[in-house]
């Protein structure tokens, strides 16, 4: 029954039938109903009467690697292990696939540092992959590792994946788990967990119980900080929901407690006072002699900032009149009032702004800093000694401008160019002027690892330092064929910790260790924490 309206109709008639049969029926008469979790609250269509009168049993998805690995192996039996003529290869790859399946399913709990998007990996992906494995091993004299990895990573599991970085992660897991070394007894699926040798079915289950280390981010290739970050965000979300459930009584509190309206009014007046005049685009244009790529970016940023600040002013002034009783309160004004009281950024402002996960107080202070940076830049349109990349509505346009200005200067074709990122050993205070070509940028943070300024490479993060700041980065444009990809980790740059759609660019960062380590650890650069 696919159509939800038909199902809702049918369920209400089922409820009536159950009432009719509740008396005078056979004493062993029972009705069993199975249901899947509803995707959204409006799909909660099982009538309350049925829910109240039933005994409910839920089948929770397993949590943790231990339960997930056992559950993955439960899809097979001793007969499965014996069905292939290439027994040791088949068993080794099957166990590695079970571990891979458990890892990709359970990695979701780490939020965006686990996967950029959430995917519905299911047991069908695993069982079909094992069928493919059987067919390929029976048909070829050598183990076709590349073909198998491609089929598992790009088709079976990769068929669900829509994000390029997630696809890279999936591919990297398979490159680490399914390779010729697995038959030589040298493969570690996780630190302290080697791929088991040739065993029977029960032996594998026993091996999991005996050998799998306790649950930790290390089992997924992640740093322990990933768990701290994920738990912190979960608890923040919980407290936010509790705060939003507070009663919204606007009457005067006992003992002169400040009311909701007074709180909002004070905040509103403070914000209006701090907002400066909009940028006069015509006046700024008159100052400019040559519209260089950087100047074009500055104008675009000023225009975007004007749109945002004018909406903030308009909506705050409107709410002010509403609170004074000079205007009728509309639903938009109510929403703005609630947002101000709960310290969240109003939706009408977010639509005209840039991605951010900050509370309203932090967001507004950040907005004022952005305006100051723009004012300093447009005073004489000379590039700041170091540029605050996070301060842009559109950081991509500034990075593209670096390529455009170098392309013009050297008469290189723009489509054959790329950006080179050299991490300096200095902070923004140490720079007095911009470089001759390119730009110095500051204000980036690393998640999943840290930058070692002394050795100039990525290294393991320190415990409890979730997003250590990066030194100033020197970014310049070079011809794409001059880029040296060796000992480099292509590191995605995101605007916020939500990652996914906030992707900005890819910076190649030096690494002494295999780049796959940083892929599995979900290492990324962030423009804000």
Question: Contact, 104 vs 170, CB < 8 A?
Answer: yes
Going by C-beta distance under 8 Å and a sequence separation of 6 or more, which residues neighbour residue 244?
Answer: 342
Mean pLDDT of 270-281: 92
> Dihedral of CA 93/96/100/101: which sign?
positive
What's the Rg (C-alpha) of the chain?
A: 29
Instruction: Name, of 3-7, 103-107, 228-232, the range with top average pLDDT.
Output: 103-107
pLDDT mean across residues, the chain = 90
Q: Is the pLDDT of residue 76 over 50?
A: yes
Q: For residue 157, which of 146, 179, 173 has the smallest C-alpha distance?
A: 173
Whether domain 258-382 has CATH 1.20.1270.280: the reply is yes
User: No. of H helices and E strands in the chain?
Assistant: 18, 12
Among 180-189, 290-299, 519-528, whose mean pLDDT is lowest? 180-189
Separation of alpha carbons 276 and 312, rounded Å: 11
Specify the pLDDT at position 255: 53
Specify the pLDDT at position 257: 61
Domain boundaries, the chain: 4-53, 65-222, 258-382, 384-528
> What share of the chain has pLDDT > 90, as a percent?
67
Mean pLDDT of 472-500: 91
Separation of alpha carbons 426 and 420, rounded Å: 18
CATH number for 384-528: choose from 1.10.10.10, 3.10.490.20, 3.40.630.30, 3.30.420.40. Answer: 3.10.490.20
**3-state per-residue secondary structure call for 252-296:** CCHHHCCCHHHHHHHHHHHHHHHCCCCCCHHHHHHHCCCCCHHHH
pLDDT band at 2 (very low <50, low <70, confident <90, very high): very low
49 or 135, higher pLDDT = 135
Distances (CA, A) of 10 to 3, 7, 38, 124, 437: 11, 5, 17, 30, 70
> 246-256 burial, b if ≥16 CB within 10 A, otherwise e?
eeeeeeeeeee
Q: Is the pLDDT of residue 293 over 70?
A: yes
Q: Is the pLDDT of residue 124 over 70?
A: yes
- Segment 202-244, tens digit of pLDDT: 999 999 999 999 999 999 999 999 999 888 888 988 998 888 7
256 or 430, higher pLDDT = 430
Mean pLDDT of 504-518: 95
Q: Name the H helices within 36-122.
A: 48-53, 64-73, 78-82, 87-106
**Tokens encoding 515:** 């780049």
Specify the pLDDT at position 45: 81
Q: Is the pLDDT of residue 252 over 60?
A: no
Residue 271, Cβ neighbours under 10 Å: how many? 17
What would you measure as the largest C-alpha separation in the chain, in angstroms? 94
Domain covering 65-222: architecture: Orthogonal Bundle (1.10)
pTM of the predicted structure, to 2 decimals: 0.87
Specify the pLDDT at position 351: 94
């Amino acid at each position: 029954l696919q159509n939800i309206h038909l199902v809702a109709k049918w369920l209400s008639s089922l409820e009536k039938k159950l009432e009719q049969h509740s008396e005078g029926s056979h004493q062993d008469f029972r009705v069993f109903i199975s249901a899947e979790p509803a995707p959204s609250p409006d799909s909660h269509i099982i009538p309350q009467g049925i829910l109240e009168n039933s005994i409910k049993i839920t089948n929770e998805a397993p949590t943790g690697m231990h339960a997930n690995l056992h559950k993955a192996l439960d899809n097979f039996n001793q007969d499965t292990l014996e069905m292939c003529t290439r027994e040791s290869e088949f068993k080794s790859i099957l166990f590695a696939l079970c571990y891979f399946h458990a890892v990709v399913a359970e990695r979701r709990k780490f939020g965006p540092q686990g996967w950029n998007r959430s995917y519905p990996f299911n047991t069908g992906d695993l069982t079909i992959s094992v069928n493919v494995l059987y067919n390929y091993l029976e048909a070829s004299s050598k183990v076709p590792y590349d073909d198998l990895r491609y089929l598992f990573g790009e088709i079976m599991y990769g068929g669900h994946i829509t994000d390029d970085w997630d696809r890279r992660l999936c591919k990297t897991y398979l490159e680490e788990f399914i390779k010729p070394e697995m038959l030589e007894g040298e493969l570690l699926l996780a630190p302290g967990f080697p791929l088991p040798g040739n065993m029977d079915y029960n032996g594998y289950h026993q091996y999991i119980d005996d050998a799998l280390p306790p649950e930790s981010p290390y089992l997924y290739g992640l740093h322990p900080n990933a768990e701290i970050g994920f738990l912190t965000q979960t608890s923040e979300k919980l407290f936010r929901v509790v705060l939003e459930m507070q009663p919204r009584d606007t009457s005067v509190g006992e003992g002169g407690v400040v009311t909701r309206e007074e709180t909002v009014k004070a905040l509103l007046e403070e914000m209006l006072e701090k907002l400066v005049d909009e940028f006069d685009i015509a006046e700024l244009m008159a100052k400019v002699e040559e519209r260089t790529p950087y100047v074009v970016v500055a104008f675009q940023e000023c225009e975007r900032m004007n749109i945002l600040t004018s909406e903030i002013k308009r909506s705050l002034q409107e709410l002010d009149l509403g609170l004074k009783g000079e205007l009728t309160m509309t639903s938009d004004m109510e929403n703005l009032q609630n947002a101000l009281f709960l310290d969240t950024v109003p939706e009408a402002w977010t639509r005209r702004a840039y991605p951010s996960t900050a509370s309203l107080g932090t967001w507004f202070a950040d907005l004022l800093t952005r305006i100051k940076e723009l004012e300093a830049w447009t005073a004489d349109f000379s590039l700041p000694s170091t540029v605050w990349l996070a301060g842009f509505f559109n950081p991509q346009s500034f990075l593209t401008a670096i390529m455009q200005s170098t392309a013009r200067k050297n008469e290189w074709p723009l489509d054959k160019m790329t950006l080179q990122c050299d991490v300096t050993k200095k902070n923004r205070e140490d720079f007095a002027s911009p470089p001759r070509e390119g730009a110095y940028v500051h204000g980036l943070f690393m998640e999943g690892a840290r930058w070692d300024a002394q050795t100039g490479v990525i290294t393991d993060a320190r415990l409890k330092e979730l997003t250590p700041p990066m030194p100033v980065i020197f970014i310049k444009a070079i011809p794409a064929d001059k880029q040296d990809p060796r000992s480099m980790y292509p590191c995605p740059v995101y605007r916020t910790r939500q990652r996914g759609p906030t992707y900005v660019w890819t910076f190649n960062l030096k690494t002494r260790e295999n780049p796959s380590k940083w892929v599995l650890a979900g290492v990324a650069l962030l423009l804000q924490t």
